[in-house]
């Protein structure tokens, strides 16, 4: 990496302005609240953030390089342990792409996991998917070199437990969930899907496995495809169900949840029985990915029910 990598980056000023607004203004601007933590916790080195807090992360990157990892339901963050091992020379901000659409859109995130760096308030794309740990560390070392070239050499103090106080032990994942997580980390989506299917077969009420399988299936459908190709195909063939489903997948993976729901709900009434069955299945997958308690899911589910009766 070299300093030129910071040129032509996307403009994050709107996120900074949003973070500086009073709480009432943030709410009126439609900013989402903090994304729910998914096993990352919050510390000086690793923090889970959403739209409302992301401006603070941009500002922090002016003194210490920040790694931003986008995740979603069923795809837990993979970098907390690795970034923590750098002793405060790097900070990790984990972002739920579905719950933080403004941040996801600013970085043009099309699928998760996706990882970028912020150096001096400017973004640098790192990778989509999760490479092996050795490759991740090589990239993070390059980020530190780039940060040094741009005068961003600060550190944060890694949180340590008080004297005599033990850190709470992290709860291990169930074996099949861990198997799926490890497969996702090495980019083997088929193995992850198999692990989740096995977990569901053993325990049909395992909601986390159902959501994980839905998320992995979405990533499989988008794997190797270009966003521009998907959108061009959908625009050229508005009556092509497969093309519309693909662009809905793209919208959901990039955090445009309402757009994905609206596209499928608009398609549904004009389809034949087979097409309606396909869209129904896809919508149910989306509800699992976004979460049953999410207001966007509740609204879309209500609209879908109205279409059925």
Per-residue pLDDT reduced to its tens digit, 132-156: 888 999 999 999 988 888 888 888 8
Sorted by where each starts, the structural domains of the chain and their CATH numbers stand as: 3-149 (3.40.30.10), 175-308 (1.25.40)
Q: What pLDDT, in 10s, does the model give residues 230-270?
A: 999 999 999 999 999 999 998 887 778 899 999 999 999 99
Percentage of the chain beyond pLDDT 70 is: 82
Q: Is 3 left (phi over 0), alpha (psi -120 to 50) or beta?
A: alpha
Whether 30 shows a pLDDT value over 50: the answer reads: no
Contact 19, 52 (CB under 8 A): yes
pTM summary value: 0.52
Whether 107 shows a pLDDT value over 80: the answer reads: yes
Single out the residue of 172, 60, 185, 181 nearest to residue 115, CA to CA.
185
Average of per-residue pLDDT values in the chain: 80
């Amino acid at each position: 990496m070299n300093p030129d990598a910071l040129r032509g980056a996307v403009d994050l000023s709107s996120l900074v302005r949003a973070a500086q607004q009073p709480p009432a203004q943030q709410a009126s601007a439609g900013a989402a609240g903090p994304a729910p933590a998914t096993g990352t916790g919050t510390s000086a080195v690793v923090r889970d953030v959403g739209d409302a807090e992301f401006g603070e992360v941009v500002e922090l990157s002016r003194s210490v390089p920040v790694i931003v990892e986008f995740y979603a339901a069923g795809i837990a963050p993979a970098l907390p342990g690795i970034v923590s091992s750098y002793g405060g020379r790097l900070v990790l901000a984990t972002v739920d792409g579905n719950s933080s659409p403004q941040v996801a859109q600013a970085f043009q995130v099309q699928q998760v996991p996706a990882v970028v760096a912020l150096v001096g308030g400017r973004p640098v794309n790192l990778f989509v998917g999760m490479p092996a740990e050795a490759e991740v560390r090589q990239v993070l070392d390059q980020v530190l070199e780039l940060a040094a070239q741009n005068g961003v050499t600060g550190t944060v103090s890694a949180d340590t437990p008080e004297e005599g106080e033990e850190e709470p032990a992290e709860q291990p994942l169930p074996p099949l969930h861990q198997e799926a997580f490890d497969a996702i980390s090495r980019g083997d989506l088929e193995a992850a899907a198999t692990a989740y299917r096995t977990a569901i077969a053993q325990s049909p009420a395992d909601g986390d496995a159902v959501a994980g399988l839905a998320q992995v299936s979405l990533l499989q459908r988008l794997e190797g495809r270009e966003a521009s190709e998907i959108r061009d195909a959908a625009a050229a063939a508005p009556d092509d169900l497969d093309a519309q489903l693909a662009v809905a997948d793209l919208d959901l993976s990039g955090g445009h949840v309402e757009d994905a729901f609206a596209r499928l709900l608009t398609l549904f009434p004009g389809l034949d029985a087979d097409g309606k069955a396909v869209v129904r299945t896809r919508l149910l997958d989306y509800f699992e990915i976004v979460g049953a308690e999410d207001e966007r899911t509740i609204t879309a589910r209500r609209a879908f029910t109205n279409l059925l009766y």
